Structure 1
Amino acid sequence: MRLLSGRIYCRSGHVSFYPDQFDMSDTFDYIVCGGGTAGCVVAGRLAENPGMKVLVIEAGQHSKDLENVHMTGGWSNNFDSETDWNIVTSPMRGVGDRQVKLSRGRFLGGSSGCNGTLCIRGSKQDYDDWGLDGWSGEEFFAAMRKSETFHPKKWFKADPNSHGYSGPLHTEPHDLAPIASLLIDSFVSEGLPLHHDMFSTGDVSHGCGHVPRTVYKGLRTTGADFITNGYHRSNITIQTDTTVDRIVLEGDELRATGVVTRLADGTTRTFHARKEVVISSGAYCSPAVLMRSGIGAREELEQLGIPCKVDLPGVGKNLMDHLIVFMFYETEKAGLTTDHLVYHDDNFEKTYKQWKDHKSGFLSTFPFGSFAFARMDERLKHEPLWRDAPRRPGRDPMGLTPKQPNVEFFTTECYGGPKQYDQFPVNHQHAFSMIAELFAPQSRGTVTLQSADPTANPIVDCNYLADPMDVLVLSEACRFGNEIVMNGAGTKDIVKGSWPPNLTHHTYQTREEWVPYVKEHATTCYHAAGTCAMGQDDDPKAVLDSKLRVRGVAGLRVADCSVMPALHGGHTQMPAYGIGERCADFIKESWRRTSML
């Protein structure tokens, strides 16, 4: 050990402060920058050791009084306001120079408080493909299970070994509306067999099933539950309404020793970390924090007047997202969809009262219905771009094995979605949707800074559909999804037409007809990842090592979906929880090593 500048350094790499010049109320063992999904997990797990003092810094407000967080059906009311980061992409050529709104939760719990509640883990092969120690499919599925307490239902054929039963995150299956049950029949008749719990087992790449949700007893459960309510501990401090500006880096061999923040009144406050700082600010804001701290591509930082302390060109690069395309249909048969509960007459007031009084009904859940994964090899095998594309042995042109789906289909039980979908069926009409989602996107985007101002959102260019292969697969997915609705056993006789009525996509027969529709309607599934990616030591684009440590800086890690080197074939909620669990595990390994010195 050696004493340096009021701190004791030990051979393990951990550091402890003996701060004679600092206010002890501003000094913590661990500081977590971001109170979203993964950040709350990290903080909650670290605080299991009562001897550790943990600070969570959240830019938004506490979620305890935000009704539209706890009321699952109120999700969209969190957008376009102070509870949303209100990030909008640059114009993107691949989608007709459109800009896409990238809503993210800006409150304690983050996007786990306004997402679709879906527990779709992906395939174990997705994580095996990362090729990183500690991140195999088996290890990562175990991490996701650790967060969960699963509540079964009699009708749901759960795989009991695929779920956790002791975590703060409460999950349960969703009771389908009649339209969703009919769509299950259509999936099956069109070649996608039913496997009830396939989205938990991670071993079915072509089939349909049911998706557990992060909802229990009519309430949404979120990342905030790891550090509040029954999991609140006296050694956790939650600092809300506080924006992280930059990480304090000290010493010739750089070490993170604190965090400079901007309070709501515009004043600056610095917090100090005895041991480590963890950035959990999401795929858009985590790279921004690193860049404001002088960690990123040297040329880009110097153009903004930020001195480069660690030249890491991968920061803010490799942005991936899952694109989705909504296809809405109208049916004249009443009682199949749930539109009447919210759009017809004065039923919304009755629905809201039902939730307020009993925590039940439409607003107690999210109106997604049935789901499917699909392989697209057979449908694309005669397409020249697919047929002639280079591929690795055992892989398709997207880099996937037969164990991994190319696309996902999911459905809504009523009309609705992001706020551009505002043609509500108010005149006693009934609508539902089929949604096609692209996995393994080949297009990559970027996150860059507007300036060094921490209150300015980063510039996000998702670069959607820049790669022709993405256009090919997503347009064919839309064609397949439309066939499932129009030809499937459960739905072929109930469709009146497309919704809104001025659209005619229900009549499309060829993939080429779908391409313009895809470019006009493709939007985000809110699955941003990859902008602070892990990688091997010899990977020049890697920002982190396999323990989530920032290269070139001691005592600094990143823990959120930005760490993914490749985007899995699923949704990002459960991986975000798993990443938080793995980060806490890695830090605890450091405790054990330190105690042995």
Structure 2
Amino acid sequence: MSLERVDSIDPAEVYDYIICGGGTSGCVVAGRLAEDPNVKVLVLEAGPDNKDLENVHMVGGWNKNLEGETDWNIITEPIEQLDNRQVKASRGRFLGGSSGVNGTLCIRGTKQDYDDWGLDEWTGDKMFEYMKKAETFHEKDWHKADKSAHGTNGPLHTEPHDLAPISERVKESMIEQGLPYHPDMFTTGKISTGCGDALRTVHQGIRSTAADFITKGSKRNNITIKTEVTVDKLLLSRDAGELTARGVATISKSGKKVEYQARKEVIVSAGAYCSPPILMRSGLGPREQLEKHGIECLVDLPGVGQNLMDHVLCFIFYEVSQPALTNDYLAYHDNAIASTYQLYKEKKTGMLSTFPFGIFGFTRLDERLKDSELWQNAKREPGRDPMGLTKDQPNIEFWNTELYGGPAQYNDFPVDHKHTFAFCTLLFNQHSRGSVVLKSTDPLENPIVDHNYLDHPLDMLVLTEACRFANEIVMNGKGTKDVIKGSWPANLTHHTFTKQGDWEPYVRKHATTCYHASGTCKMGPPDDKNAVLDSRLRVRGVRNLRVADVSSVPIVNNGHTQMVAYGIGEGAAELIKEDALNSVSKLTPKLEGIAI
């Protein structure tokens, strides 16, 4: 590969900042940079605009966006610890990205999660302020919010979720089994054990997405949005020996190749799966991998595409004996979905106006694992458990669904007037790491993704014990124990009926992704050879180039990643503005002794 010439670019296609990816972080960066009317910003998005995508704005239609043109359709390599199953790692492929197809959940984790990154620009206090800045919170009378933790002026609209009857019962069981209720615990970042209400990026029945930062009320004339345009690679040049990003080469849906030039910076915001391939196709990445595909290695960055993290997740389904506890009757029974849809169309209310997850909980498993030889003999740092967590960080998250549902493979819908829900268990701070590598140099071909879930024995130990605890909450908790009729479907295995037993076979069969892919272009200090970025998101060895999305995080937070993506976007924009101001000040001569 040779360095690209940029002198032939159409002057109309020259911008100050080019954002490669109109997903969650990318839209935030673009919107915040464009607050300066003197800059010209270009957003390049591989998928379509989301304006007319009904199943983006109607939250209950989220799964209709998958496995088609609005999904990247990434499928993992066979995962040994999951009985060699391949897992669908769906991502939103349209303006707004996965903020338009996710679970709408605002679960920030704890402040310690971000302090653990060890980077002054991204402390827990700063990240929580960035996430707060993005938000406009809308209260509900029944919810006791910590107003000091919420934003009131951001483009992202959030509100509490009204619980279905089954969720109220699960909440009661969680409390009785040792998870006390703290209404706004997932906003404050201070609580590691308990249950609470997870806010949603929904308001008045409409999903709020990152696209709202550059459209609707935030639309600005200095932002150009080009959809259905895929970024192939970066245009790089050498200036006085320094490698510098000058623009990008793209290919449109129709096959047209166009180059765009950036006066100031190129920001790659294509996500944990797609940001590494852009760097690698540009000659930035592990030398051995690049040479395998005939790409000249301009900067040997061994960490590009490595350190892939996620939160592995396990659904346990139950059938209940009482009707109308769950919302199955509004979706699967007879022709109910037609009237449910009509209600949404007319009033923007009902089941389709929100995401079908109920109450959430955090917990630690110290006491439950104290007799495990593996746990007791595992290495640990002072003040940390074997998973690397302090006593103020949770090991596990629980939540329930409010009807049958989950990943696409769960298709045993209760159409015969039966009623079901799942109790879900999510693993935090996994030790296992995966990778993203190039399949070819074709920008239209997905990379090879290997999540390597549960490769580390401690990951399997903690998740299986957590599933056992989850089952005890449902089977023994006073809110649910009297309404459980059995597992769903009936052949799920005996594990849903007992406290004891080996849960590992169940986990191997049913564990799946939580769609929180992150870490593949991680930030790090100068002595971290696998860090792709410095603490200001700048790509090592290249000027005027940053990566701003969840691929940048060194360690995924113990929560969900939607608000992290917003926080990264907000923080990136501030850093870019700071660096631009400092650059100007260095070029401006001091005027001493002159009266102005």
Which band: TM-score by shorter chain? Answer: over 0.9
SS of residue matched to 1:134? helix
1:583 aligns with 2:575: no
Is this contact kept in 2: 1:159–1:201, CA < 8 A?
Answer: yes
1:61 aligns with 2:48: yes
Q: Which residue of 1 aligns with 2:436?
A: 447
Q: Which residue of 1 aligns with 2:408?
A: 419
- Give 1:122's aligned amino acid: G
- Give 1:341's aligned amino acid: L
SS of residue matched to 1:378? helix
Partner residue of 1:507 out of 484, 497, 520: 497
SS of residue matched to 2:475? helix
Partner residue of 2:33 out of 36, 46, 62: 46
Measure the CA separation in 2 of the matches of 1:142 and 1:211. Answer: 18
Measure the CA separation in 2 of the matches of 1:527 and 1:28. Answer: 32
Partner residue of 1:497 out of 486, 498, 501: 486
Q: CA deviation at 1:20?
A: 7.5
1:52-88 C-alpha deviation (Å, 9 max, x unpaired): 0000000000000000000000000000000000000
SS of residue matched to 2:568? helix
- Give 1:407's aligned amino acid: I
1:89 aligns with 2:63: no
Partner residue of 1:383 out of 372, 386, 389: 372
Q: CA deviation at 1:595?
A: 3.3
The number of equivalent residue pairs is 579
Matched residues, percent identical?
Answer: 61
Partner residue of 1:350 out of 306, 323, 339: 339
Is this contact kept in 2: 1:46–1:588, CA < 8 A?
Answer: yes
Is this contact kept in 1: 2:439–2:445, CA < 8 A?
Answer: yes
Partner residue of 1:522 out of 505, 511, 515: 511
1:547-566, aligned counterparts within 5 Å? 547-566=536-555
Q: Which residue of 1 aligns with 2:389?
A: 400
- Give 2:255's aligned amino acid: G
Q: Which residue of 2 aligns with 1:196?
A: 183
Measure the CA separation in 1 of the matches of 2:155 and 2:313. Answer: 30
Q: CA deviation at 1:591?
A: 2.4
Is this contact kept in 2: 1:508–1:514, CA < 8 A?
Answer: no
Q: Which residue of 2 aligns with 1:481?
A: 470
Is this contact kept in 2: 1:320–1:462, CA < 8 A?
Answer: yes
1:126 aligns with 2:116: no
Q: CA deviation at 1:133?
A: 1.4
SS of residue matched to 1:513? coil
Q: Which residue of 1 aligns with 2:212?
A: 225
Measure the CA separation in 1 of the matches of 2:575 and 2:113. Answer: 21
Q: CA deviation at 1:21?
A: 4.9
1:117 aligns with 2:107: no
1:249-268, aligned counterparts within 5 Å? 249-251=236-238, 252-268=241-257
Structure 2 stretches of 5 or more lacking a match? 589-596
Measure the CA separation in 1 of the matches of 2:256 and 2:225. Answer: 18
Structure 1 stretches of 5 or more lacking a match? 1-6, 8-18
Measure the CA separation in 2 of the matches of 1:493 and 1:571. Answer: 31
Q: CA deviation at 1:395?
A: 0.2
Runs in 1 of length 4+ with deviation above 6 angstroms? Answer: none
Partner residue of 2:17 out of 9, 18, 30: 30
Measure the CA separation in 1 of the matches of 2:573 and 2:559. Answer: 23
- Give 1:558's aligned amino acid: V
Measure the CA separation in 1 of the matches of 2:301 and 2:373. Answer: 38
1:403-459 C-alpha deviation (Å, 9 max, x unpaired): 100000011010001111100011110001100000001100000000111001000
SS of residue matched to 1:478? helix
1:52-451, aligned counterparts within 5 Å? 52-251=39-238, 252-451=241-440
Measure the CA separation in 2 of the matches of 1:22 and 1:577. Answer: 32
Q: CA deviation at 1:346?
A: 1.0
- Relative distance call for 1:166 and 1:96 in structure 2 (3 A) is same
TM-score (norm 1): 0.96
SS of residue matched to 1:55? strand
